[in-house]
Structure 1
């Protein structure tokens, strides 16, 4: 199902009405509206409507939970600590995931952070994960790169 921050957030409304809402908003970019709950005894993920946010939330939250429910156990994604080839100022209070790829031993990020820009998903080879704390990333600074392959994607 889908989750939204607006009036069209039907999935969250259904979960709230049934008393099965466990979590709605999370401190993650992209992906703030993420509904987690149970409906009729079945776990439900209400993913954000923007494609990039839905992809990131699927990788970070839904896929690990589904694998756990299927008996596969939890696998921590392989994190590579490599230099940044970009600059970014980030406010405190939420974890951020940037579409990125490796070139010449450094992480390059997609030019647009917009969660509707699907082209960045195919351009990227993984995600750069920035922690909740405020940060000013400068070229050469070490960042955490999570290759798509560490999530089981080609």
Structure 2
């Protein structure tokens, strides 16, 4: 069954356009593309003629209909794919017709985190700016978590009146309500860690990302 336009909600495009605006970049809205390789290829070609960098969300995983990563691999120059970060493992960094191209995950929270952690520093360097180390703070945790090893994790979080930091109640990367609730991100390193109440964790305020 074909969905009507009013049945599909786009959280990613408005979010990314506003982020780019806040960072001082001129963004061109390339629109939406059906999950068909010919249509996506045409979209890439058009974007490469009019843009210095291409940002796209969705289709970057390894499914049969994830054509973004497949096209970047077969017809572009795929540099990096699948990064050990949560949320956001399926992220593609490539060149399409010589233009730097980023394929972010389709889930809104993952797309947001990847834009901040990977997109912002890359865009700054590509535009001739310098990217400085992000401002962060060591703050007592107002939560407990048994973190597994293997991936760096970013949790939506906000500071409490008691001077601690608490994460959003759900780690689901589709829960966009957590983005408006949060005031920053908790960064947990790749190693395994058993976090207890009061342990110091790294907190990065959204202001460090210029938003």
* TM-score for both structures, normalised by structure 2: 0.71
1:68-110 Cα offsets, whole Å, 9 max, x none, are: 1111211211011010001111111110000000012111110
1:4-59 Cα offsets, whole Å, 9 max, x none, are: 24223211111111250011101100000000010100000000010000000000
1:49 is aligned, of 106, 126, 130, to 106
1:117 is aligned, of 175, 186, 209, to 175
CA distance in 2, matches of 1:112, 1:74: 31
What stretches of structure 1 of length at least 5 have no aligned partner?
none
Does the 8 A contact of 2:62 with 2:69 survive in 1?
no
Q: Tell me what 1:106 maps to.
A: 164
Q: Tell me what 1:137 maps to.
A: 195
Q: For 1:12, what is the secondary structure of its paired residue?
A: helix
Q: Tell me what 1:70 maps to.
A: 127
Hey, which of these two has a bigger chunk of helix by percent?
Answer: 2
What stretches of structure 2 of length at least 5 have no aligned partner?
1-55
Question: What's the Cα RMSD here?
Answer: 0.9
Q: Which has the higher contact order (CA 8 A, sep 6+)?
A: 1
* TM-score for both structures, normalised by structure 1: 0.96
1:60 is aligned, of 117, 136, 151, to 117
Does the 8 A contact of 2:91 with 2:105 survive in 1?
yes
Q: Tell me what 2:74 maps to.
A: 17
CA distance in 1, matches of 2:165, 2:64: 38
CA distance in 2, matches of 1:128, 1:97: 5
Hey, which of these two has a bigger chunk of strand by percent?
Answer: 1
Is residue 149 of structure 2 the alignment partner of residue 92 of structure 1?
Answer: yes
Structure 1 stretches of at least 4 aligned residues deviating more than 6 Å after TM superposition = none
Q: Tell me what 2:65 maps to.
A: 8
Answer with 1 or 2: which has the greater Rg: 2
